[in-house]
Structure 1
Amino acid sequence: MDSGQIYLADPTIFHHVDTYYLYGTTGDPKWGKNKGFLVYTSKDLIQWSGPKGAKCGLSLAMGDSYGEIGFWAPQVFEYKGLFYMAYTANEHIAMATSKSPLGPFVNTSKEALKAPVKQIDPFVFFDEDGRKYLYHVRLTQGNRIYVAELQDDLMAIKPETLRECITGELEWENTQKTDWPVTEGPTVLKHKGLYYLIYSANDFRNPDYAVGYAISESPLGPWKKFDKSPIMYKDLVGENGPGHGDVFLDHQGDMQYVLHTHHNDSLTQPRRTAIVKIKFVEEKGSPDYLVMEKDGFRFLKTK
């Protein structure tokens, strides 16, 4: 393995003040079993340092939080003077808070958000009107993306607002034609009054794991899938299984997408972390569309 390569799956980058904070599902064998979330930092997206989490490199550690296994797909954001981490453990979604992006993130109640089914891959979206939405995946006849409005304390959804957004129905979304189609890893952007739901499809172990998106006039849908999806796929960047990432703004205000790929052509794990530029392109008579700029694709490494 490349000793400098960062191995985080389902990654997210939180940009705060002058620092980028990188989190994800831990995959590097040298850090042991998945018992929390490592965090790396950078000033320029090129030179990375870490892990730098408050607890032996971990920003959130088992014992401070809900869950014992399967710490997956974190998202970090600032809300009401605290830093929040929405995350998956035990195939349920929970919230933890910290005074620093480095942690320690703590879930004092040790409880998950209530739901009648298993749910993973949280993404909290703050709309311009002050409403907050939880996009997530529910495990019910496939990995299906749902949305619901959140209570102001972010610790529960408003059940009456729950809606299904996306399921795997198109050929590119289920290339192995499985009975359990997978759509997951939601990220939502608002652009020119429209909502863009970016998601990944296929099982993550499938080399055809890829990224597409859908558009809606409302955060609750209905959603229309972009007819030229996927916009990130193996032949675009020459790497198997690219996807399950998050969009962030860099120092220049440009959008970038952080994602993972397979380890190589024969191994899925540990997955490698990369970034690629993403942008909106205007099209007369239609909503702006999203493209990933393959020339800007590169893997993230420590010094």
Structure 2
Amino acid sequence: MQTIAAILVALLAAPVPPGYSTAEAGNPFVDGRYADPDVAVYNDRYWVFPTSSRSYAEQTYLDAFSSADLVTWTKHPNVLTTANVSWAKYAVWAPAPIQRNGRYYLYFAANDIQSNAALGGIGVAVADRPEGPYVDAIGRPLIDRFVNGAQPIDQDVFIDDDGQAYIYYGGWGHANVAKLNSDMTSLGSFADGSVYREITPAGYVEGPQMLKRDGKYYLMWSEGGWTGPDYSVAYAMADSPTGPFRRLDKILAQDAAVARGAGHNSVLTIPGTDTSYIFYHRRPLSETDGNARYLAYDRMTFRPDGTIPPVTMLVKDNFDDTNTIGWKTYGGTWTATGGQYRAGHSYGGKSLLDDNHSNAVYDADVTVTSGAGDAGLVFRATAPAVGTDSYRGYYAGITPAGRVVLGRANNNWTQLAAVPMTVTPGTRHHLRVEAVGASLKVFVDDLTTPKINTTDGTFTAGASGVRVYNAAAAFDNLAVTSR
């Protein structure tokens, strides 16, 4: 049996990325509809195992993603499929990865059973490599029935410091914990002879996740409805892996400026550090389809007393992953290459995020690469379309003609202010806009004294992005921070 010490040695071999404040290369951090992410550190890579967010009948497989730096992710398709599980037909959900005994285990739910008369529940598959292929380990569900009212879905597996493994699971508003034997494919029992112990905290709906830190056990779970905007994550702390777990607070919820339906989380703590990230799925603001769920991660911190403050969903993109997931273009040609977002020459091509910020600080590095026009930041934009000024919102840009310009668009252009400044093509400039109420300030390089300081209350909220006019440009290190 692999010892805890051996596991720690393997974990510590993983690279240690910087203490990112969020997904620096942008959320969603991988392409495609996925939900319910769980995480693992295997050898020198970080792994994410999610649910494929499709209709039940299409959920017949699981993909995985791995990364050496939490920036660039490699997709590993079909790590588990129903072809390798005789009893699983559809609704394959919430994979839970763990390594033990020199092998890789993947726990999953299948068939979305509605009663004990149906075949399905929680299964366990095993592989010799993190990327699989995983095959059914026991030829039947590990947990195949409702116990204490808990639907057998949404499992999480945790190995304590003493080597005892536990499985946490449950839908329909009930959560159970059971012991796993050292073979990881059978259930043990507690001292009183019971196999299952109910641990349901107040407000619990589904998606339990166990974390241990500084001798304390953290149970996290999802509340609200998974198709609605109120989906969220709450937590409890206890001195034992079996509780009792008393709800303390909600730590992740929708942000009307960033995304809705944020829930079903896991936690990645970088080995050898106290840096933790909460991985979860969320729904973009413009999406109404319940299955339009995408993967994201943000920094999660702890107070000195061990409690967890609410997580802030941040908006950043440094384009180091050379993709533009989450961006939508309106005219022009756009590519992510060399760690920058490059716009070919056009008369008003723009690219926007699916956000809705009001009072915020907008930052980007802007390099005008050619042309006599300008390039910069779009903010508080609505009704975007292809066309030079085809949107309603504001724009601040810099031009090699020697100006910093601020104006508003409403299918036409109204200049609000312009000031002289030396702008050399090919030179990177840091552009910042502070928009609070009707106050609009534009900074270039010097972030203490604004180049432009004016007022205009025409537009109050909308999407953020970048734009060129009669120019080509490169953008980098975009960030939007609510004020």
TM class, shorter-chain normalised?
0.7 to 0.9
Q: Distance in 2 between matches of 1:79 and 1:3?
A: 28
The one-letter amino acid of 1:42's match is S
TM-fit CA distance, 1:5: 3.0
TM-fit CA distance, 1:47: 1.6
Larger radius of gyration: 2
Correspondent of 2:96 among 67, 72, 75: 75
TM-fit CA distance, 1:188: 0.9
Counterpart secondary structure, 1:120: coil
Q: Distance in 2 between matches of 1:105 and 1:47?
A: 24
TM-fit CA distance, 1:292: 4.7
Q: Distance in 2 between matches of 1:150 and 1:134?
A: 7
Check conservation: 2:122, 2:144, Cα contact below 8 A. Answer: no
Q: Distance in 1 between matches of 2:49 and 2:316?
A: 17
TM-fit CA distance, 1:198: 0.9
CA 298–77 in structure 1, closer or farther in 2 if over 3 Å, else same: farther
Q: Distance in 2 between matches of 1:146 and 1:36?
A: 26
Counterpart secondary structure, 1:63: helix
Counterpart in the other structure of 1:178: none
Equivalent positions of 1:170-249 (< 5 A) are 173=203, 183-226=205-248, 229-235=249-255, 238-249=258-269
Equivalent positions of 1:32-181 (< 5 A) are 33-50=58-75, 52=76, 57-65=77-85, 66-91=87-112, 92-117=121-146, 118-137=151-170, 139=171, 142-158=172-188, 160-167=194-201, 169=202, 173=203
Q: Distance in 2 between matches of 1:293 and 1:190?
A: 18
CA 272–59 in structure 1, closer or farther in 2 if over 3 Å, else same: same
The one-letter amino acid of 1:267's match is D
The one-letter amino acid of 1:46's match is V
Q: Distance in 1 between matches of 2:62 and 2:322?
A: 17
Q: Distance in 2 between matches of 1:187 and 1:237?
A: 27
Counterpart secondary structure, 2:307: strand
TM-fit CA distance, 1:232: 0.4
CA 278–216 in structure 1, closer or farther in 2 if over 3 Å, else same: same
Check conservation: 1:8, 1:260, Cα contact below 8 A. Answer: yes
Check conservation: 1:200, 1:211, Cα contact below 8 A. Answer: yes
User: After superposition, what is the alpha-carbon deviation per residue over 1:249-274, rounded to whole angstroms, capped at 9, x for unaligned?
Assistant: 23673211110012434332220110
Check conservation: 2:29, 2:296, Cα contact below 8 A. Answer: no
Greater RCO, 1 or 2 (C-alpha within 8 Å, sep 6+): 1
Q: TM-score by structure 1 length?
A: 0.82
User: After superposition, what is the alpha-carbon deviation per residue over 1:80-139, rounded to whole angstroms, capped at 9, x for unaligned?
Assistant: 1001101111131111110111110001533101443140011111111221111000x5
Check conservation: 1:37, 1:61, Cα contact below 8 A. Answer: yes
Q: TM-score by structure 2 length?
A: 0.52
TM-fit CA distance, 1:15: 1.9
TM-fit CA distance, 1:7: 2.1
Check conservation: 2:65, 2:73, Cα contact below 8 A. Answer: yes
Correspondent of 1:294 among 306, 312, 319: 312
- Give the unaligned 5+ runs of structure 1: 174-181
Identity of aligned pairs, percent?
26
Check conservation: 2:138, 2:185, Cα contact below 8 A. Answer: no
TM-fit CA distance, 1:295: 5.7
Counterpart in the other structure of 1:177: none
Give the paired residue count: 274
CA 281–241 in structure 1, closer or farther in 2 if over 3 Å, else same: same
The one-letter amino acid of 1:133's match is Y
Is 1:26 matched with 2:52?
Answer: yes
